[in-house]
Structures are given as structure tokens and as C-alpha cells.
Amino acid sequence: MRIGCLGELLVEIMRDRIDEPLGVPGTFVGPFPSGAPAIFADCLARLGEEVFFVGAVGEDDFGTLIVERLREDGVDVSGIKRLPDFTTGVAFVTYFRDGSRKFIYHISRAASGQIFPEDVQEEVFTHLDFLHVMGSSMLINEQCRAAHLRALEYVKKGGGKVSFDPNFRPELLGKERARELFQPIVRESTVIFPTQEELRVLSDEEDIDRACAKVLAQGPEIIALKQGKEGSTIYTRQGKWAIPAFPVEEVDPTGAGDCYCAGFLAGLAQGLPLPEVGKLANAVGALAVTKKGPMEGAPRLKEVQEFMGRLGRRE
């Protein structure tokens, strides 16, 4: 399949120690290439699929770091702009012992936010098999949202499908406004990849089964519910499948959900049955957390197959 994606490209600079707040002097490590759609695109390319990316970086070393990493891993970067008047986006992050994170973003006024509807070319997007939409990218600013809606229009015009990861960030926008902005994407999506909290945002329902039924009634065929260390659950109108997680030692959880989405679409591209698609996606997400840096754990297909084979032999 050929999959398109657009959104924020940034570097991530993280606290070296756990439980060290961002508001005090301390040490950082990085920069690491990052941005939710970039992590997804890089992982999917590593898994062997064709990926086209629309985004923007500054004419600086951080921008070069990101673009070269994507290019080396096989992403089509011809849709990425280099902007001399803007700096590349940056996210500062710290991790806490309870598994939570806190971010400070420089995105909307950086090159990351300079994505416009005219950057979405009809001749490219009408020939995509899938458009993958990230909620965080839609919420950057008004022109980014308009660019996504244009991409959606062109992909559907060409007969392509849409997958949607809400990737909701309370730091960027409130729940009610996010639900309102996400509705056009939800209605047109074939696959949705929410966490439990994001599912509640989309449905305004607390009960997970009722929330899934409510979202599926709006048009999607599949909800792949990301549940972290508990694995994932796939919902369709015909039933649901609970897919257990693969046990790994977690080093850095950032990007695991993005890599899960990449693994899921790779499984669909291979024509696997849905439970096997979920198993592949869980394996990709598990491997993603085993290295420090948001993209560094993104595995190649051979690595995933060997990992699943080793665990299968142990069972």
C-alpha cells in the first residue's frame, strides 16, 4: 500500500532522569527526531510500506536531522518544506515514575505549524491507498486543520481509505472542541486508533463497549483500542478480539502508539486476519519502547518477525 501522512516534524529533548520536573535546572538528552506522524511514517517505511509525508522544518540542523532520518528509512520526503524564516519544532519532555509525562511544545509558531491546504497536491493524494490522520497535527492551528480536510477530500475522491489516531493532547485544545473538530475525520475513517481516554473524548461515553458501539455507528469499520501494557482490543460491528501484549522491558514509551498504528496498517497491507493484524501491531508497539528516543525503537519487519518467532517458540 501507499500511505500518506502530514503533520508536525520536530525534535524531542528529554530529561535524563525520571521525576525531574521541567521547571527546575537539570540535564537533558537529545535531540531525537520526533513528531507523532513522523514516528508513524518512519516505522511504517521500516516495515516495508510506501509512505509519503507532507510537513515543514526549518533550514537548520534540527530540520536536517529529521529529514535525513526519514529519507534513510525510506519515507518519500518530497513533500517536506525547508523554511529559512522558521525554526524546526521542539518538544521538551520529562518522565515520571508513575508512567506519566509532561511536555513543553514549540510547534504552532515553528516550521511545524506552517502546513497549508496548498501543500496538499491532488495528483498525489488521489493515488493513496490510505491517509493516516493524527489528531495532534489537526489541532496545531487553523491552516493545518484545513490541510487535513483537503487531504481527506482528495483521498476519498481517489477511492482511498482513512485511518485516524486521535492522539489527543489536552495541552493543545479542550475536549469539547477536539470532539467537534474530529467528527469529520471519524465519519470518513475506516480504522480508528484511540486510547481509552481518547475513545471517551470521541464518544462522550464512559463505558468502553458502549463508546465503541457509538463510534462504530458513525461510520468506521474497525476500532483498534490501544491499551499499553495490557495490549489492545479490536472492535468491529461483528465482535471484538482482545490481543495480549508482548512482555518487554520498557525504556522509553514515547512513540509506542504511533508504531502500533504503523504495524496495524502493515498487517492490513499484508492481508492478515484482524486478530493477526492486532498481534503484529502489538509486537511493533512493544519493540518501540525498548530504546531511548521516540523513533529509535521503530523496528524493521524482519526484526518483528524474529521477535514474534522467539516468543512463539517459548510458548
Q: Which residues are catalytic?
A: 258
Closest listed residue to residue 33, CA positions, set 70, 74, 4, 82 = 70
User: In the structure grid, which three cell numbers stand for residue 103, read together?
Assistant: 511536555
* Size (the chain), residues: 315
What phi and psi values does residue 213 have, to the nearest 5 degrees?
-60, -40
Instruction: Write the DSSP symbol of residue 251.
Output: S
End-to-end CA distance of the chain: 32
For residue 225, give the 3-state DSSP assignment. strand
Instruction: Write the DSSP symbol of residue 78.
Output: E
Closest listed residue to residue 137, CA positions, set 96, 158, 108 = 108
Distance CA 101, CA 18 (A): 10
User: In the structure grid, which three cell numbers stand for residue 246, read together?
Assistant: 508482548
Q: Is residue 130 a contact partner of residue 163, using CB atoms and an 8 Å limit?
A: yes
Distance CA 84, CA 88 (A): 10
Distance CA 294, CA 104 (A): 16
Amino acid at 273: P
Closest listed residue to residue 136, CA positions, set 178, 199, 193, 77 = 178
